Structure 1
Amino acid sequence: MAAASFFRRWTAENDRILQAKSGELFMIATPKKAILQTNPKASYLAYKSEIDAAIQRVLDSGFYILGEEVAAFEQEFADFIGVPYGVSVANGTDALEIALRACNVGAGDVVLTVSHTAVATVAAIELVGAKPICIDIDPVTFTIDIDHLEAEIQYLQQSSELGTLKAIIPVHLYGYPANMPAIMELAQRYGLYVIEDCAQAHGAMLDHRKIGTWGDIAAFSLYPTKNLGAIGDAGIVVTQREDLADRLKSLRQYGWRERYISDIPGMNSRLDVLQAAILRVKLKYLNRDNQSRQTIAQTYTTQLAHLPVQLPQVAENVSHVYHQYVIQVEQRDNLFNFLKQQGVGVAIHYPLPVHLQRAYQGRVSPHTGDLKTTEQLCQKILSLPMHPFLTTEEVQTTIAELSKWFKD
């Protein structure tokens, strides 16, 4: 099929890079000039003096595992989201895995999610021994299709041969919230856990309510390119339920409730204290950084409106935080190559849906309907440069080069 063929061609070319970061599979055109698709270093430089001071504070403290610095970040992030409990972990994949374990999802269970996502979403489900099944997505929001979700739930409720349907993982992709009111209604009707994958939606809102407050539990990646990113791997899980918070704390450190005594089987997934200190600095500026993303997105939307591309559409009750600004365009591959040659950093998130990747083919597809929208979109999507520190000149150059390609 076309997507798989393009993926094979792309991996064969020396001037493109295949990256698998925290399970996140995407293509990046490496720019010749300084317009980067994302720029974690700029985030460090913007807050350098405070970050350097925070790092020195940790080094001077002599306390390097968990402790007050980590606890302070956990509470500050929980307060930002609007929940009472935050439990930090080593990375975003662990955040999903530990969230699943806290909800007692394991062998013999089934979890519904999407195929248009970072591989980490599906990998985490398999890490706990459960079976992932992928649902198609809405062509406008790129998030889980509610009608297809309900059809698959009804099928699985009537068929026990695959296992016990236990949870839904909606992915808030590119900074846009999934339809949480509809998802929660289905979950409550059928008795399912909802574990929000918020890896790309730090600060996003739906109906004036933060993403991460809707489900039973929510997992955030704090990878360097995220809206809130560490300088290394990091993750956090948040919840409104004290019982789940207690399990999360135990699970992330060998199942301990008291040191060296494991009450439940756990793992080792602790947030590094240096990363906690860095994240405390950057969290103070997250709203401002998200506003910068929104301003850049508005510029793109206004000045690209005349071109034959499909731009992101945002509902009135949504606050989109633009982890990515994703357009849909015919002849995407040609445009990708052209922008690369002009030095404009663009990306494809994601070039091949999870269900079409060799590791998952034939194992995660739904039993009702198909994944047609997912497969079609992966051939048209293109992520433009998007981070809070893009200059006006860089944004205008990106727009000009896009316009030039269509004109020529």
Structure 2
Amino acid sequence: MVPLFDPHPQHARVRTEVVQAVNEVLDSGQFIMGPNVQNFEDEAAVYHGVKHAIGVASGTDALLLALLAAGVGEGDEVITSPFTFIATLEAIYQCGATAVFADIDPATMNLDPDATASVVTERTRAVLPVHLFGQAADMKPFLELGQKHNLRVIGDCAQAFGARYHGTSVGALGDAGCFSFFPTKNLGGYGDGGLITTDSDELADAVRVLRNHGSRTRYYHDVVGYNSRLDEVQAAALRIKLRHLEEFNESRRAVAAIYDQELSKLGIRTPKILDGCHHVYGQYTILLSERDRLRDALQQRDIGSAIYYPVPLHRQSVCRDTFQELSFPVCEQVAEECLSLPMFPGMTEAQAREVVAAVAEVL
């Protein structure tokens, strides 16, 4: 048996440190906005090479608060990918803006810069590229597009903590980067949590006010805000795991190297790495026409797999009326052919080769 994701190997690696750190929080009695939150934010900012890192309650909140802090609101349009988790779309809707989709690149499955440029209008306020499956989107054209049209560029980095684009962390690209600490992520917590990274003093200040009920000083509220604070227990655990992140990501990359070498022999389309990109494999996603047959056969062999994402956002019932006339052919084709294979820190070479052998047997 090889699960799609197994948290136990990485937890075993950090368990002693995490238990000690959490016990110290419990003994302190300070659970909200304590020293671990501040220290984690400082350490995360250094890791990404930015001035500010602000902890929030979830990756979804990170997207929402970053958009709001960037001035996105009612009447604005935000361009993003239809091939991502619905949180990306939710954040746009929740700040009162209108989502505009552009098709994806067939090789990387990330937002296509040319398709994005073709749907910019006078109402476009921001571009929200997703660094899907652990690889940075091709950011240079997005940044140039933002400069040309005075657009905010905010990265959905939920699946890409540790990914780099020509040596720069995805969290340092554009106006802000938005991360999730959902347990399966590259830097996964023990519950929900999120982070916003930015070099903008103005944006960082706005996020800090928004996450704390619109307040800078207790009981004095400047705007209508949110209760979206990263808690002290999660911050303490994440500080430990951040110190081990490069080790965990290299473990993922070692598994990906085995997959790349062996699966390419079978004619399977393995992940395409853009020049200058450091992929951290939040997921390892292949493309093949016999996707459903392979998925069913792997399940029979107790090998995990998953389809990210079977229904593109423009086909979701929650917004079908808005986008029913639209078609994004590349996205729709990828949704029919994509399959993510087991991938997690601490996955062994034997497990990776068991997956490869099962795929070869089936195909």
- Please report the TM-score for the alignment, with normalisation by the length of structure 1: 0.87
Match of 1:133 in 2: 100
Please point out which of 173, 179, 204 is paired with 1:245.
204
Please point out which of 333, 336, 341 is paired with 1:376.
333
Please point out which of 295, 309, 312 is paired with 2:271.
312
Letter of the 1:72 partner, please give it: N
- For residues 80 and 102 of structure 2, the distance between their equivalents in structure 1, rounded to whole angstroms, comes to 6
Match of 1:146 in 2: 113
CA contact (8 A) 2:130 2:157 kept: yes
Cα shift at 1:36: 1.1
Match of 2:228 in 1: 269
Match of 2:237 in 1: 278
Q: Is the aligned partner of 1:119 residue 2:76?
A: no
- For residues 95 and 191 of structure 1, the distance between their equivalents in structure 2, rounded to whole angstroms, comes to 22
CA contact (8 A) 1:355 1:362 kept: no
Letter of the 1:183 partner, please give it: F
Q: Is the aligned partner of 1:390 residue 2:357?
A: no
- For residues 171 and 103 of structure 2, the distance between their equivalents in structure 1, rounded to whole angstroms, comes to 22
Among all aligned residue pairs of Structure 1 and Structure 2, give the percentage whose two residues are the same amino acid: 40
After superposition, residues 1-400 of structure 1 pair within 5 angstroms as 33=1, 35-153=2-120, 156-157=121-122, 164-364=123-323, 370-400=327-357
- For residues 116 and 354 of structure 1, the distance between their equivalents in structure 2, rounded to whole angstroms, comes to 6
Match of 1:7 in 2: none
Cα shift at 1:339: 0.3
Three-state SS of the structure 2 residue aligned to 1:47 is helix
Shift of the 227–365 alpha-carbon distance from structure 1 to 2, 3 Å rule, reads: farther
Deviations 1:341-377 (A, max 9, x none): 001111111111011011111324797xx41100000
- Please report the TM-score for the alignment, with normalisation by the length of structure 2: 0.98
Cα shift at 1:265: 1.6
- For residues 58 and 153 of structure 2, the distance between their equivalents in structure 1, rounded to whole angstroms, comes to 20
Moved over 6 A (4+): none
- For residues 223 and 81 of structure 2, the distance between their equivalents in structure 1, rounded to whole angstroms, comes to 30
Question: Which is richer in helix?
Answer: 2
Deviations 1:120-161 (A, max 9, x none): 0001111111111111000011111111111101xx23xxxx
Cα shift at 1:43: 2.3
CA contact (8 A) 1:217 1:239 kept: yes
- For residues 68 and 246 of structure 1, the distance between their equivalents in structure 2, rounded to whole angstroms, comes to 19
Deviations 1:142-184 (A, max 9, x none): 111111111101xx23xxxxxx211010000001111111000
- For residues 140 and 107 of structure 1, the distance between their equivalents in structure 2, rounded to whole angstroms, comes to 34
CA contact (8 A) 1:346 1:384 kept: yes
Three-state SS of the structure 2 residue aligned to 1:237 is strand
CA contact (8 A) 1:73 1:277 kept: yes
Q: Structure 2: any 5+ residue segments left out of the alignment?
A: none
Count of matched residue positions in the alignment of Structure 1 and Structure 2: 363
CA contact (8 A) 2:60 2:87 kept: yes
- For residues 175 and 200 of structure 1, the distance between their equivalents in structure 2, rounded to whole angstroms, comes to 5
- For residues 355 and 131 of structure 2, the distance between their equivalents in structure 1, rounded to whole angstroms, comes to 26
CA contact (8 A) 1:293 1:387 kept: yes
Deviations 1:272-304 (A, max 9, x none): 110000000000000111111111101111111
Three-state SS of the structure 1 residue aligned to 2:361 is helix
Letter of the 1:388 partner, please give it: P
- For residues 71 and 213 of structure 2, the distance between their equivalents in structure 1, rounded to whole angstroms, comes to 16
Task: Give the aligned CA root-mean-square deviation in angstroms.
Answer: 1.2
Three-state SS of the structure 1 residue aligned to 2:37 is helix
Deviations 1:20-40 (A, max 9, x none): xxxxxxxxxxxxx3x111122
